[in-house]
Structure 1
């Protein structure tokens, strides 16, 4: 059976029946859900010594009273009102207890909680411990003659998710003692799974429940809900997740400033999916960055149908909005009163107001001076505020020390890397925080602009060290140095010397070194004279320890004052460099000869027929050349080779010279090849005298051709691709026509077909036998057509009537097989039906003999 909460109240009745005892009536109130199942007829009360936790008494108590409490009336402006129902059982027990200085702990336990409670983990495995304390002697004063506070009943308040609510957990005290209220941890059992309902309570102390992230005993409904410590009224904005939550409220009883005891009331309340028509705003709105605000009703009510916002600009009639979540930009700084009016379609209304503060122009900041832990760091506030002024400072120096001064100093105890944070607040209420990482060193900061340099023996050199304010400088050795106790001495060593600077600040010491290499003189050299191709550039490459360079002439140079300029002379030029190391100087020159690139020009781009050749030509000033590809060239070592490519080819000639420009130059020539002309005149055929025969020549697609047929005898037109041949002479047995297809470039291709002419009427001639033995003679059985335009069918059957061959193509014949198997020697029946060129049907039937 799942318990939803409860509390214990006791009443002091006077002295007990025996000396040294007191009589108490203990009332246990347990809350159950109206839908919970299981026995409720009795509970076990445990009474324990409050100091030693020893068991004083264990008593089973039967039900004294029970009642059902439910919500019957609802605010008419609430949407989706929930059903709320509790069964409240009371168990009353009166007993005498010895008057002991330790006092007592009263406890009742149940092993079962409701599963799925939002704000605690694994609630189905948790139990509940309901407790109260009877005081004993405190500070030498006996307080056992006391009755505990008694909680008021108000447990049918409705809590809608994300909505404002109040929930009364107040109590009264018969003795007139002062009461205070606070949230606390709900109490579990030590072993819920091993202690079923109806068992004697475990001995205290009892463990706290484990709360989920975002919740705790002190904030059981999150940070938006608080309890009034004087009245016990719980109020705030409900969580956004619907479901059941555990709340434990401890009421503490005070008498003349002495805390005597505490009584805990624990209850599982439900946050429902409902809403109340409400206008709810934040307490105030502040913008320290700009003039624009975004407002919305903080109530989650879904029944609101209209909104009216007034942004509080004095004298303005346009500072309103009917949007649910408006954005408004104020024209000036200041403090304004924001008002919101909401209404539902059913007539429910509500309103709220708040303060809006507009003070843009606020930015926190600070600077830090210091580096060594043995000297104080100085922190300076640099925060910017346009309106008002900074009114408070809160420094956290990253080592547990703090300050509220504007510009504090702080000394660290040891080297460290810390995060320093400054939080500032302005007189207008703006606040902000800024953090910086500060390195606390064991020595002062010390940097040198350079640590290795070069001078000439007749020069002097200023040195420089940068460190913290207030450090003491000392440079060593004291050799040829001016102002060795300053940050920037001047040195003039005659030999290479390593100078060391030491800085000291209140016990912190650091040092650094700079090497001054000294040369007695300098030299400069350039590579040997060289050549460069015209329009190209070359990097000048002097060898020297000099630190300054000056080149001349400037013509063709990328920069005349750097060590390695880029030279691109238009003509042969001698470049001179003057190299300086301080006052020491040296000079060198280099002659750069400019040589033109070799030239090459090709000609001969042409188109040839497949199989033909063409001469290509190149003209060059170079000494050497090479053609590529050269596999289809005759005499590729000449400047006029003959090309005979199989397909279109681009030939590249690359030339090089011996005059000093080593780079190659190329040009190309293309020989396009017309594809091979492939012509078809059609298959050989047969006709009868006077039968028109349609010829049809074809050639490569995508190319335009001229056609010529020979001989021209009997043709309707010998110069088209599809003339009609009509042979009317009986003296012609056969004729072979040749067709030639020609392109505009003269490329040609030819094909021929033979026409056999029969001096008969249109007919089909069928051989009487054939020999399919693969010798190339008479291997196929097929009809010979004369004057036939189409074959409807040609079929061959064996002697049992099985079809062994069929076709409708005149050029096809039977090879004496069926399914690739040789058929036996013997007679076969054929049937033929065809249509002659005049449209007449010709049918023939007979036998043929297969021989091998």
Structure 2
């Protein structure tokens, strides 16, 4: 293995290690770059040359991740494409490029800033016959570049060429660093992509395709260089490498300046300019500079008008500059109908009315202070009184339709006509005919143009029919036999009408859409309308009335009610009059008036249809409602009865769901309403009147003072009766009232003196509905001090007698301990609740008869003194 191969192998291993250590954000902020080289003279070896090669990378100023300390530079034989050099080239220089000042002509100026990194190395190459290709590749670009498809998945490939043959002693063109240009959307641009050449060679410039990174190591910004050809970027629709910003941008082939009108769409665009180096007319090399240009929403102050303005309707115009900004620009308008250079308006969007017809020169000059001065002119044509109009005749599909131009113009003459018949057929004749193939609604249009440049259109809908559609205001009517009537159909152009009745042709009314007739009996008239072969037939039925009938019966009703008088009549005119009574109708001109009746009334109705009339009287009879009284609402206690007593002047009466009598005894279990009904079927007012009485049933009151109890004399006892009632309040009465603190409350306190061995207290509770209940309690009064007793024996045989060993308290406040032990000292029962006791069982087994047990009891009396006792008890079966 020779030394050269070993060196490239070691370099490759080093490059791979370097690339693996700089995995980053895919170089998404590399904006562009180019490669340049400079011939330094002969190399150290025979037939070699030495070159200084520099790669320039444009990085977004605000992207710290965009910085990389080296690139991988590859050089390939131009003929064999064999790699002759590859190495990591580290950064040697940094040049900030930032636009710090902007013209006042720019509104909303953008930030333009790059950091240009230089990577320079020296290489020694053999002088060969194929030249060399130099390449650096990086990934990837930013997303959403306007003119590139899926730009986030693309990279950039930079290249330069060292000439072949005898041109090896060449230095490449050097692009100037004039890249800080603000580009405003939809505005004029001038981007300098020019270069210089140290050898004095001629340079030419052209757009070309931007180049993608050919290799793809996803996740690594640095890509391995390769020999050409290089992958081209995929451009979006309407863009290409030769039209990177659309059709409005060009590059000057001699200067490299990019000019034209920037696109309206805001965003980044990839531009690649190829500079070709010519020596004595021979193309010796090509170098590419590629840069992502940012089109922003800034605006330039530019004067721009339409080439021509024309008004063919009136004398009024409103002008505006086609390129507008939000800056406070100065506008100077001259409308051409004043002396030269006269400023007629300084508004941004002036309105101007010309006094006469003619052609005028419009001038606009704008600026901002003494800068941004720009001006332009336009032609204004004033030719008012230009109105297109046309008429149509013959709409039957079997015949041609006539189109007649009736347009009007005040100045000049009409020079062209264009008819559009709505079915795809057109004509340029002034007046024309058109045969439609089928019936339907067609949107027709006439466009005319005058010799003054006026152009306007008018559209009309033309309904082509295959039959006449007669339209009659009515097809069935009624008249008096003394009257005449006009029959008519809506007029339709070019239609001939023919009327007939059931027996004869009405010759006196031929070819007219309207006739007047005086039939004496029911008659049907026929009308036929015809336009060539398009026809239609319609009928009118005339019913003849010899008399006006009125159907309106008399009315019987109750005083105070409202009534509507319903009449049936063919009449068209109604006139009511009040003959008798005091109740007025709501309307005396309608067939069915209404009123509120207070007594008997008589009304007369005169009904008319044409000259036929009739009159009829309608009687309204009224009597008062019957008086019905069921009684006043009341309350009763549960299980009580109540006698209902009704009262009425009606002849018919009864309790609903009850007897036909005034008095009715009921015993409801719940609150119930009872309805008393009355009516007078022989009077004018036959309605039934109802009255209701509500009987509220009050639930029984329940009183329970509690169980009889015992105590010692002088011991206070407070009664706590349980009272259940659905009403409030409740009244309480205790008897006797001896020894009670209060005898009219629910919870009085009694203190029984010595000497009274027992006493019975009664409590009577009365509810709000006067329902009452009574209960008693017996107090046994011991004539001793407070104490507690435990039986010495008990018999737990479930006979209901002395089954439980239960302490007997006298004057106690509370029970602290009651516990029972067997003879081995084991506690077998415990409680601290007064009234509870032991049932004689241990582990659910009744203890044998004759067994002796020890008890211990401790309690607190009502004086808060402790009573503590111990003793024995025996089970006796």
Partners of 1:778 and 1:368 lie apart in 2 by 127
Match of 1:618 in 2: 646
Q: How far did residue 786 of structure 1 move?
A: 0.7
Q: Deviations 1:19-68 (Å, cap 9, x if unpaired)?
A: xxxxxxxxxx99987769997758999xxxxxxxxxxx999999999999
- Are the aligned partners of 1:481 and 1:490 in contact in 2 as well (CA < 8 Å)? no
- Are the aligned partners of 1:480 and 1:492 in contact in 2 as well (CA < 8 Å)? no
Q: Deviations 1:783-826 (Å, cap 9, x if unpaired)?
A: 1111112223434567777766544432344556799x666556
Q: How far did residue 582 of structure 1 move?
A: 2.9
Partners of 1:640 and 1:798 lie apart in 2 by 77
1:512–1:122 CA distance, 2 compared to 1 (3 A): farther
Partners of 1:87 and 1:564 lie apart in 2 by 102
Matched, 1:835 2:860: yes
- Are the aligned partners of 1:159 and 1:238 in contact in 2 as well (CA < 8 Å)? no
| Alignment map for 1:64-143 (pairs within 5 Å) | 72-75=97-100, 81=111, 83-84=113-114, 114=141, 116-117=143-144, 119=146, 122-124=150-152
Match of 1:451 in 2: 475
Partners of 1:438 and 1:801 lie apart in 2 by 123
Match of 1:764 in 2: 788
Match of 1:725 in 2: 750
Q: How far did residue 842 of structure 1 move?
A: 0.7
Q: How far did residue 462 of structure 1 move?
A: 1.9
1:180–1:532 CA distance, 2 compared to 1 (3 A): farther
Matched, 1:640 2:672: no
Partners of 1:378 and 1:817 lie apart in 2 by 128
Q: Deviations 1:398-449 (Å, cap 9, x if unpaired)?
A: 959999xxxx999997743659999xxxxxxxxxxxx999754224886433
Match of 1:658 in 2: 681
Matched, 1:441 2:466: no
1:378–1:646 CA distance, 2 compared to 1 (3 A): farther
1:80–1:228 CA distance, 2 compared to 1 (3 A): closer
User: Normalized against structure 2, the TM-score is what?
Assistant: 0.56
Partners of 1:167 and 1:800 lie apart in 2 by 118
Q: How far did residue 498 of structure 1 move?
A: 3.7
Match of 1:783 in 2: 807
Structure 2's unaligned 5+ residue stretches are: 1-25, 35-54, 60-65, 103-107, 120-134, 159-173, 197-201, 218-223, 253-257, 275-287, 306-315, 317-323, 332-347, 354-363, 376-386, 396-400, 409-417, 448-456
Match of 1:302 in 2: none
Q: How far did residue 766 of structure 1 move?
A: 1.5
| CA RMSD in angstroms, aligned pairs only | 6.8
Partners of 2:748 and 2:796 lie apart in 1 by 38
Partners of 1:379 and 1:69 lie apart in 2 by 78
Q: How far did residue 738 of structure 1 move?
A: 0.9
Q: How far did residue 687 of structure 1 move?
A: 0.8
1:747–1:227 CA distance, 2 compared to 1 (3 A): same
Partners of 1:250 and 1:448 lie apart in 2 by 80
| Alignment map for 1:15-34 (pairs within 5 Å) | none
Q: How far did residue 841 of structure 1 move?
A: 0.6
- Are the aligned partners of 1:522 and 1:544 in contact in 2 as well (CA < 8 Å)? no
Q: Deviations 1:240-269 (Å, cap 9, x if unpaired)?
A: xxxx63467999xxxxxxxxxxxx998644
1:536–1:420 CA distance, 2 compared to 1 (3 A): farther
Q: How far did residue 481 of structure 1 move?
A: 8.5
Match of 2:611 in 1: 583
Partners of 2:759 and 2:495 lie apart in 1 by 124
Matched, 1:598 2:626: yes
| Alignment map for 1:685-704 (pairs within 5 Å) | 685-697=709-721, 699=723, 703-704=728-729
| Alignment map for 1:8-19 (pairs within 5 Å) | none
Partners of 1:684 and 1:43 lie apart in 2 by 124
| Alignment map for 1:357-372 (pairs within 5 Å) | none
| Alignment map for 1:673-822 (pairs within 5 Å) | 673-697=697-721, 699=723, 703-730=728-755, 732-742=756-766, 746-771=770-795, 775-796=799-820, 806-814=830-838
Bigger CA radius of gyration: 2
- Are the aligned partners of 1:606 and 1:671 in contact in 2 as well (CA < 8 Å)? yes
Match of 2:869 in 1: 844
Point out the more displaced range, 663-672 or 533-542. Answer: 533-542
Match of 1:245 in 2: 268
User: Normalized against structure 1, the TM-score is what?
Assistant: 0.58
Partners of 1:502 and 1:60 lie apart in 2 by 97
Match of 1:168 in 2: 190
Q: How far did residue 593 of structure 1 move?
A: 3.4
1:203–1:164 CA distance, 2 compared to 1 (3 A): closer
Q: How far did residue 117 of structure 1 move?
A: 1.4
1:668–1:768 CA distance, 2 compared to 1 (3 A): same
Match of 1:209 in 2: 236
Q: Deviations 1:78-133 (Å, cap 9, x if unpaired)?
A: 999565357899xxxxxxxxxxxxxxxxxx9x999746315466445689999xxx
1:441–1:848 CA distance, 2 compared to 1 (3 A): farther
Match of 1:94 in 2: none
Matched, 1:502 2:529: yes
Q: Deviations 1:663-699 (Å, cap 9, x if unpaired)?
A: 4322222334444333342443211133333334564
1:543–1:717 CA distance, 2 compared to 1 (3 A): closer
Partners of 1:237 and 1:562 lie apart in 2 by 73
Q: Deviations 1:566-605 (Å, cap 9, x if unpaired)?
A: 4654434455544444334455565443343333123233
- Are the aligned partners of 2:701 and 2:773 in contact in 1 as well (CA < 8 Å)? yes
- Tell me the SS of whatever aligns to 2:833: coil
- Tell me the SS of whatever aligns to 2:98: coil
- Are the aligned partners of 2:211 and 2:231 in contact in 1 as well (CA < 8 Å)? no
Q: Deviations 1:270-317 (Å, cap 9, x if unpaired)?
A: 578xx99x9999999xxx9xxxxxxx9959xxxxxxxxx8999xxxxx
- Are the aligned partners of 2:759 and 2:780 in contact in 1 as well (CA < 8 Å)? yes
Partners of 1:760 and 1:341 lie apart in 2 by 122
- Are the aligned partners of 1:112 and 1:124 in contact in 2 as well (CA < 8 Å)? no
Partners of 1:756 and 1:471 lie apart in 2 by 127
- Are the aligned partners of 2:98 and 2:113 in contact in 1 as well (CA < 8 Å)? no
Partners of 1:375 and 1:657 lie apart in 2 by 83
Match of 2:516 in 1: 490
- Are the aligned partners of 1:418 and 1:439 in contact in 2 as well (CA < 8 Å)? yes
Q: How far did residue 758 of structure 1 move?
A: 1.8
Q: How far did residue 647 of structure 1 move?
A: 4.6
Partners of 2:390 and 2:868 lie apart in 1 by 118
Partners of 1:60 and 1:368 lie apart in 2 by 80
1:549–1:186 CA distance, 2 compared to 1 (3 A): farther
Q: Deviations 1:336-383 (Å, cap 9, x if unpaired)?
A: x9x9999xxxxxxx99999xxxxxxxxxx99999898746599999xx
Query: Of residues 530, 538, 545 in structure 2, which corresponds to 1:513?
Result: 538
- Are the aligned partners of 1:790 and 1:835 in contact in 2 as well (CA < 8 Å)? yes
Partners of 1:216 and 1:651 lie apart in 2 by 99
- Tell me the SS of whatever aligns to 2:700: coil
